Amino acid sequence: MSHFLPETDAVLTAARGLALAHPGMIEVNSSPLYLRARDADPARTVALVSGGGSGHEPLHTGLLGRGGLDAVCPGEIFASPHNRQIYEASAAAAKSGGVLHIVKNYTGDVINFQIAAERLRHDGIPVATVLVDDDLATDSADSATGRRGTAATVVVEKLLGAAADRGATLEELTDLGRRVAARSRSIAVAARAQTSPTTVHPAFELDENTLDYGVGIHGERGIRTIARPATGDLVRRMTDDLLDALPDGPDDVLALVNGLGATTELELNAIAVLLNDELTARGLRPVLVVPGTFTAALDMAGFSLTLTRLEEGWADLWTTPTRTPLVLPRPAEGAVGVESLESPTRTPARTPASAPSETGDRTLLDRYALTVTQVRDNLTKLDQLVGDGDFGDNLAGGVRRAVKLADETGMDGTAALADAFLNDVGGTSGPLFGLLFQHLAAASPADGSAPSAAALAEAAEAGHAAIHRVGGAVPGDCTLVDALAPAAESLVAARDADAPEAPLTEAAQAAIRGALATASLRPRRGRASYVGDHALGVPDPGALAVALLFMALADIHEPATAPRLPAPGHITVL
């Protein structure tokens, strides 16, 4: 774990970077540091000012501009801004109707905003405060501090920004902000703490397969550490806790799925669907489901869920356009729900084969499935060293699809492998394996008996040729071809020999030698070619998968000689 912050003036430099990225929108005052919107809506009579420790971006600064905030006061990382920053930012942004402070409930933030408010009142500037305190993990009767302010701050700032641009008064905005905060609750979980900029190490350690439940956005530990459940179960638990804590009110809700810094958009979008389903199942109406990173904790790996019960008109405030660095998701005009967007799954018509046989191709599928399951993690680890780490899962997923297809349709095993890998497995290697399986399926006798050496030689040669035509790989490129080519050559030699003893065992041995030899090759094709010399010493996972396939064929059809072959786990570890 690491960070790429400048050694000095990191927060000021980042503020200047935001202004640089949005010319004409933001001005930066360096001493004391605050950012101010340069293009306020002329209908606005009250300035909205917020701020807090840095490291939560795009919180606060992302909503600077029309439809959002007038000024933002960033503190140092995870530290509250000084009252002078807040005072001078508020004085510079103040409008005829005064200033509204939007404050997350942390002691340092509260004290410094209160001092700034006292100074503004002394100057005759009307000022009021909205305190955001949505974190249910800190909802305790024993605490005098109260709940922390977290991701619901985004909801408060967005709704208030839209209302301010409609000319709402200080009193109206204060009342609205306090109602939104009161109707909002959040809960967060983390699988990994954020990197401390001071130590460049995780702020706290978590055991493998555990989560901290109820973490704070400054890296505070959760209220408990739990065994990591399935994601759907985790979302269900979080939803239950949120609804137990959420005050009674309308069934219309806004649901915010917030990344804590290192959680991908792919994950957040998937979690949003799970949350939508949980809310709908409970009879609520998730009018707005908003996934994204809005309130980060540097690079913490985790997410939070926020629910806000929507009063009449609040959804309209959320969907009002803004001119801010952060563009919040909102429904397009005429938008439809998730169910309406999903197309019915079309299953291509398949002609079932005769019932699967006890031996032959179905046996190959089952044997290969068992082998791949045993070595999937090994193949993944190898691919992490030379590629993107997905090979083991892709191979195992394709085999599982083939097993399911054979079970459901009666299709013979090798044909099911060809169908699954050609039609359903993405990436580079999936369709290439599909071509190989397609030719091997053609070599399988209809009665389920063992394929002849001549038929297998022809199939291996044809598969090799097809893969070369599509991908261009040749032996020496450090790909699956480095195992397939010698196996095909061995089978051709056995076909041309008189009564070969064990053609499949010998082909498997040739494939194993070819696969292991890729460890000494510098890859010239595929993703491994991008890592250069880092791939040296690591055998190609695709080549090993080909070797495992021929080993499975030998196990089935040559049980007397196949024991000469090494165990699958032996050849797939460094």
**Cα–chain-centroid distance for residue 72?**
30
For the entire predicted model, the pTM comes to 0.81
Q: What is the distance between the alpha carbons of residues 206 and 212, in angstroms, rounded to a whole number?
A: 8
CB 61 within 8 A of CB 83: no
pLDDT of residue 36: 98
Q: Give 523-541 pLDDT, tens digit per residue.
A: 887 666 666 777 788 999 9
Give the pLDDT confidence of 252-294 residue by residue, as tens digits.
999 999 999 999 999 999 999 999 999 999 999 999 999 999 9
**DSSP tally for the chain: helices H, then strands E:** 18, 12
Known catalytic residues are 218
**Cα 574 to Cα 554: distance, rounded to the nearest angstrom:** 24
Region of 12 (left: φ > 0; alpha: ψ -120 to 50; beta: rest) is: alpha
Confidence at residue 499, expressed as pLDDT on a 0 to 100 scale: 67
- Which candidate, 447, 455, 395, places its Cα nearest to that of 421? 395
Burial of 316 (0-12, 13-18, 19+ CB in 10 A): exposed
Q: Residue 530: its pLDDT value, please? A: 66
Residue with tokens 């978590």: 206
| Interatomic CA distance for residues 325 and 312, integer angstroms | 27
Q: How far apart are the first and last CA of the chain?
A: 25
Task: For residue 76, give every residue at least 6 positions away whose Cβ sits within 8 Å of its Cβ, in sequence order, or none.
Answer: 11, 53, 54
Is it the case that residue 482 has pLDDT exceeding 90?
A: yes
Say which amino acid occupies 140.
S
Residue 336 has pLDDT above 60, yes or no: no
H or E element in which residue 52 lies:
strand 47-54
How far apart (Å, rounded) are the C-alpha atoms in residues 137 and 149? 11
